[in-house]
Chains A and B, each alone.
Chain A
């Protein structure tokens, strides 16, 4: 059974204070690892998909990396508008369903 564990559960940063979020996963065969951002009362917003170990993707202040066991979402010089819950999900080679972690609630204070 696919499993996704995200840490920390919550993270409070000062504006400009860089950090990383972790996503550890167990899957029989990885088709893709997904990062989403979710704001309160809204649906998950797609950020990145990573498909193979060593792959990296960037978008503004966010950079996602992937190894065979985990993924990191690095946030460089965050701003208050980066405050949200960040969700990690994996997709097994055998099916299209996403298995989600419980998320990391990020708060960036000015």
Chain B
């Protein structure tokens, strides 16, 4: 079974440019999460999808970040325009969760974003 995949693995952009990160969850996983780690800090939650619906956006830092999950499969996270403080590693995770079952989140390898 393929794990969570993310593309690209690295991205280097100039301040003010736009970047789009992609995440493909484990097949059949309805839950998809975005997290990020900025330099020297712990991993922080950004948002949670259940299928194509945003369940929890409480971690999104500001309106420069836009996440979508069309069709309930892969997800994209767009940063527009990028700022220096957006640099970090962006992780995607997915889980299969039905009502009453337990939630084990499996992470992808991450996308390292550098904003110059």
A43 within 8 A of B: yes
Q: Are A96 and B56 in contact (CB under 8 A)?
A: yes
Q: Are A97 and B45 in contact (CB under 8 A)?
A: yes
Q: Are A43 and B4 in contact (CB under 8 A)?
A: yes
Q: Give the number of A-B contacts (CB < 8 Å).
A: 62
The CA-CA distance from A102 to B108 in the complex, in Å, is 19
The CA-CA distance from A4 to B106 in the complex, in Å, is 20
Given contacts A43-B107, A43-B108, A95-B56, contact A32 B43 (CB under 8 A): no
- How many residues on chain A are close to B (CB under 8 Å)? 25
B33 within 8 A of A: yes
Interface string of A64-88 (1 = CB under 8 A from B): 0000000000000000000000010
Specify which of A32, A45, A96 is in contact with B33 (CB 8 Å cutoff).
A96
Which B residues form the contact surface with A (CB < 8 A)? 4, 31, 33, 35, 41-45, 48, 55-56, 58-59, 91, 95, 97, 102-110
